[in-house]
Homo-oligomer: A and B are copies of this chain.
């Protein structure tokens, strides 16, 4: 143990009580906004708090309340690129904004590898947080199990791989992808490729399934050589598009499973001398800010982020409050946003 005695000790409830001339219990009542306190006592306590610059010790409080009033948003991504994905940024900002009006704190936890995931699992189980929102779950991530086993309130952003009983909020990835490819079919394209997300992520899997379903529904064949796996990043989109063009120079449309990848695809298409949408039509997914800005503006599938983030926190809070309840989940509708690229 290191010497921390020289750090200025912070005042305690007792000291406030002595200064205010009341009991510890009364100070606690004032701090916790209990109604049964006389105005005089309340005023005395408030001025003592101000004078001593008292801040309650959360450890002591949490020890008895079993609550920390903080929730964790876990970014579970080996790739550093997480941060550059506008989807993450939106979720983080949205959850943060939803919580701003409450007295709940939000902490972000990132895991690059399994070791860090274990560390996060421990962190949560040790009682640092009341609940967890888990993002970017890959098929082999141990974290959902660790947290669920520990009985930690948990909401996943994106449905789980297996049909486990865990709460989640997801966009209708399959339906959205189906609509995207159906749009490409309806606008007369015949060789429709796709750049998928990572196939160890459920969003990648579902969007590919939707794409294939649209093809099948229209009586088309599914051609494996017209499917290239990307990683939800712009660079990944460039590479996947180059690979698709090499495999089938005649392709006339691509459904790209995320907007950052679509921006990459646009770049690769331009570099290959293809015009969009004349030679190749492109539909993205996300409706990220970049979609409206890029050249040409991207036709894309909008995720209802403004619905999803409040839902994410709401579902989690409900689990934290009422413990017995079964975990509830939601799937949010997507919609096609037509711009110039398809």
Measuring CB to CB, which residues of chain A are less than 8 angstroms from any residue of chain B?
A: 1-4, 6-8, 10, 55-60, 62-63, 65-68, 70, 72, 80-86, 88-90, 92-93, 96-97, 100, 105-110, 112, 115-116, 119, 122-123, 125-128, 150-151, 235, 293, 320-324
Contacts and interface: CB of A to CB of B under 8 A. Distances in A.
Contacts of A323: 2-4, 6-7
Given A8-B151, A83-B89, A126-B56, A65 B1 contact: yes
A100 B70 CA distance: 22
A293 B235 contact: yes
Contacts of A322: 2-3
A4 B66 contact: yes
28 contacts: A1-B65, A3-B322, A4-B66, A6-B323, A6-B324, A10-B127, A55-B126, A57-B127, A58-B126, A58-B128, A59-B59, A59-B68, A59-B127, A70-B128, A80-B90, A80-B93, A83-B83, A83-B92, A84-B84, A84-B89, A100-B119, A105-B119, A106-B109, A106-B110, A108-B108, A108-B109, A108-B110, A235-B293
Nearest to A73: B108
A63 B60 contact: yes
This protein's copies in its complex: 2
B2 A321 contact: yes
Given A105-B119, A109-B107, A324-B6, A80 B89 contact: yes
Contact of A63 (B63, B86, B89): B63
Most buried by B among A6, A100, A107: A107
